[in-house]
A and B are shown apart, each in its own frame.
Chain A
Amino acid sequence: MLRSGGLNTGSSDLLSARRRGSVRLAGAVAVAITGLAVLGRNSDPAGKPLPAAVTLGAAIALTGNANLYGQDQRVGLELAQRWFASTPHPRPVRLELEDGASDEPSAIAAFNLLIGRGVIALIGPTLSQQAFAADPIAQRQGVPVVAPSNTAQGIPQIGSFISRVSAQSSVIAPLSLDEALERDPQISRVAVFFAQDDAYSTAETAIFQKALAERGLTPVSVQRTQLADNDFQNPITAALQQKPQLVVISAQAVDGGNLIRQLRELGYRGQIVVGNGLNTPNIYPICQRWCDGVLIAQAYSPDLNTPINQTFRRLFQDANGNRTPGQITAQAWTAYQVLFEALQRLQKRGEMDGVTLGEARRRLMQEVLAGHYDTPLGPIHFRADGEVVQGRFYVAEVTMEANGRHGSFRLVRSFDVDSDAGGPTP
């Protein structure tokens, strides 16, 4: 690879043939690129009439580091697709899943691919960083996006076609703190951990720390971790030297689960409050029996007693043994449900007849934002800019069985709030 292998030994005839060959090949490459550019130019089918069966495209992470979330999202989307196909509806809807992987270029490629195939709306991508890359493309081409799991600040503000069903943690995070403080009003020493290379966790910890400050608490220790970390001996022993009475964690399932386990193993006995990133059954095999007693703020509770959530939970359990569904799965279902119901409302009013795909996309976006939805997450609707307004949030406590392998999020209390206006009212 490094030695040129006798470039200098060639005769001048060989060299000139080689140079001529290079020029010819370069010319061929240039022609090929130009040809592909011209052929690929008119890939946007927005001007064509809307087909009878409309297609929703989902670009989620089925490979790469975020695939743990993507697999859960696939389950939610496929359950929703089967369920709503079995309910009476005037317009048939198909679902196309594509791998948006865990990086930005792949998310863009998946969005482009689905838009080119003529989907009426998009669900995804899985990570907020990917959304900042791919959503502007959908925005420019006027394709509605409903994000099932993007929680970073500024996602709906990317444009008028971008919305999400994943609420930011600004409202819920303080609720779990209040629960911990109610259980032990003597708490004065708090340690904070967060995954500093995760967009969601860095945003959430800012909210946690602000809420702590409002309650007169200054963290005695703030530890930064990384998503890929699995050994937390260093930050934990550093924090425990400050003798905290409450530990607040903003992380994702795997790193957060390990952090909880190691905190307990290293002798921490106080309360643990974790953020929404750990709101998934995927933490059980990681922190096992040590998960027990952890307080968690939730945007979704499997215990919510509404018909739609019971349906969702039953379908999930039929398909997945006796497990309970997690938030990521519920939000993916909700994204599908929002688009499906908005489509059927338009169809019933006859507004989907004889329009182009581009016009149908525009009307669908307006209808999505105008509607109210009864979803497994609880009642939701949208702000004009596409931000979700969720009516109900939950605080749960993780309860593990004695063998440490199965567990559940036991609902401690739910709050009816207007996540738009702010103040929660228990």
Chain B
Amino acid sequence: MPDNGLLVQMILGALLGLSVYLPMAAGQLSLATPAFYAVGGTLAALMATHADHQGTISLGAVLWEMVVAGALTAALATLVGLPVLRLRGIYLAIATIALVEIVRVAILNLPFTGGATGIFGIPQPFHHPLGYITLSGGLLALCGWAFQRLETSRLGRAMAAIRDDELATRCMGINTTRVKLSAFVASAVLAGVTGVIAAHYLNTWNARQGSFDVAITTLAFVILGGSRSWLGPVIGGLLLTALPELLRPVGDLRLVLFGLVILLGPVFFPQGLITPALLEKLGRWKLRRLKP
């Protein structure tokens, strides 16, 4: 039985999974999510601790941090995305891992981010984890609505076309650079905004929060959940975040089992848990069949 705190972490995992999924929906394997997550978290930590809040902070102030974090990460992503998005496949993946490491070292070394200890005593907008569930769950619902609409929008169709065949899409007269950049920027904004919530939830923020490990874990959310539908990363993020906690009863073996799940998951479910075929089946399922 997951408690409310774990549920918050699960939802944050789902949001990060969606952030990795966005560029992938346009055929780009970008692992830059933790870099923007770290930028968002650091920004929130700085803004919230610099004003004198006496341990609590209004929800409005947190929402304002989310707006600023969104703007900052969007600007950064545009700056970085233009040169980086010319790379493909594994090259893009490695370039974005490099970005994650550069941001991590910068947060560790900059004079105002608290060094190794990080920033602590981040004030709380809520007295109970239920507040965080509402905030992050609300953001997740908003994302779900947007992603569902995206699939039928022009941008979404262009993304899918690039994923299928970038060259052909360019020949059709679609500005592929702009489409890829849009997906990259949206992914960065989502990661940055998630970082703001995470910083408040974690009470503290430091350079370790956005690391190579996070890049791989969030990629695993998408791969195991399924990369063909936005629900894949959501369900992958929810389940994989909970898994190490649910495996606690096995004691020392729990990380071995976690590793086995990541190892064998793609082998047995190469398309992830949520496949288009599964969604079609669900869509055709008539409720009245249940009646005797």
Contacts and interface: CB of A to CB of B under 8 A. Distances in A.
A21 B280 contact: yes
Nearest to B159: A4
Given A1-B223, A132-B120, A112 B6 contact: yes
A199 B228 contact: no
Contacts of A104: 202, 204, 208-209
A4 B228 contact: yes
A61 B225 CA distance: 29
A349 interface: no
A419 to B, nearest CB: 21
Contact of B160 (A4, A30, A199): A4
Interface in A31-63: 33-34, 36-37, 39-41, 43, 62-63
A152 B117 contact: yes
A129 B117 contact: yes
Interface in A80-106: 98-99, 103-106
Contacts of A7: 160, 163-164, 228, 276
A30 B141 contact: yes
Interface in B263-292: 271, 274, 276, 278-285
Interface string A156-178: 00100000000000000000000
Q: Chain B: interface secondary structure?
A: helix
Contacts of B89: 2
B3 A116 contact: yes
B11 A39 contact: no
Given A16-B283, A132-B120, A197-B108, A29 B7 contact: no
Nearest to A158: B121
B227 interface: yes
B9 A202 contact: no
Contacts of A108: 5, 9, 202
A412 interface: no
Interface string B138-178: 00010010001001100000001101100000000000000
A425 interface: no
Contacts of A14: 280
B279 A37 contact: no
Contact of A18 (B120, B160, B227, B283): B283
B207 A23 contact: no
A196 interface: yes
B117 A21 contact: no
Contact of B248 (A1, A6, A40, A98): A98
A2 B24 contact: yes
B231 A29 contact: yes
B235 to A, nearest CB: 7
B133 A37 contact: yes
Closest 6 CB pairs of A and B: A21-B283, A21-B279, A21-B282, A17-B283, A20-B283, A132-B204
Given A5-B271, A22-B229, 14 more contacts: A1-B29, A2-B28, A16-B283, A25-B231, A25-B279, A26-B231, A37-B133, A63-B255, A104-B204, A116-B3, A132-B120, A154-B121, A158-B121, A196-B116
Interface of A: 1-8, 10, 14, 16-26, 29-30, 33-34, 36-37, 39-41, 43, 62-63, 98-99, 103-106, 108-109, 112-113, 116, 128-129, 132-137, 140, 152-154, 158, 195-199, 201-203
24 contacts: A1-B24, A7-B163, A10-B276, A16-B283, A18-B279, A21-B279, A21-B282, A22-B279, A26-B144, A26-B234, A30-B141, A33-B133, A36-B7, A37-B130, A40-B6, A63-B255, A106-B244, A108-B9, A109-B6, A109-B9, A112-B5, A113-B245, A129-B117, A158-B120
